[in-house]
Structure 1
Amino acid sequence: MQSTITMTIDDLHRILADCGGASEDWPRGADVHDRRFEELGYDSLALMEAAVRIEKEYGTPVPDELIPTLSTPRDVLDLVNGARPA
């Protein structure tokens, strides 16, 4: 069941920082929607942990097999907020 709560880029950053540590590679005030997670300092383990948090907070399941296809913050926001990731 999809949540009616909209996830923002700041929400995603908070979750990633909680799961994978605060990344110095996450540029403040810059548009990071289309930057790859690796470029932002987050690995697949951080994304797996974030997926669990996203499901708890937003009610959006993120299956393990989908995680490798979520390569940018925009992909995650689209999934959580109802759009289909590219």
Structure 2
Amino acid sequence: MTAREFTFDDLKRILREGAGTDEDVDLDGDILDTEFEALGYESLAMLETGGRIEREFGITLDDDTVTDATTPRALIEAVNALLVPVQVG
């Protein structure tokens, strides 16, 4: 069974659908290590984003996971850590 991977494109789509985008921010730019707050996404927008990720990917994200992941890269890594099954050798 192959687990679905949460990608940067998934995150951008979910951010746009749930919280919209600030007209001054280019989500298609090099923003992987830019803090969400600098991109115009406050805590409420991030909790909405987390809820959308949970529903779409069938996982449960702790509120701390969403708030502690301050950049797109950190959130993508946190989500993928829950999606990728542990393989026992």
The TM-score by the shorter chain falls in which range? 0.7 to 0.9
**Higher Rg of the two aligned structures:** 2
| Contact residue 35 and residue 73 of structure 1 kept, 8 A | yes
TM-score by length of 2: 0.77
Structure 1 stretches lacking a partner, 5+ long: none
Question: For 2:6 and 2:49, how far apart are their aligned partners in 1?
Answer: 13
For 1:27, the aligned partner's letter is D
In the TM superposition, structure 1's runs of 4+ consecutive aligned residues that sit over 6 Å from their partners are none
Q: Report the counterpart of residue 79 of structure 1 in structure 2.
A: 78
Alignment identity in percent?
40
Do structure 1's residue 20 and structure 2's residue 2 form an aligned pair? no
Question: For 1:46 and 1:28, how far apart are their aligned partners in 2?
Answer: 15
Indicate the RMSD between aligned Cα atoms, in angstroms: 2.0
**Cα drift, residue 25 of structure 1:** 3.8
Question: For 1:28 and 1:15, how far apart are their aligned partners in 2?
Answer: 11
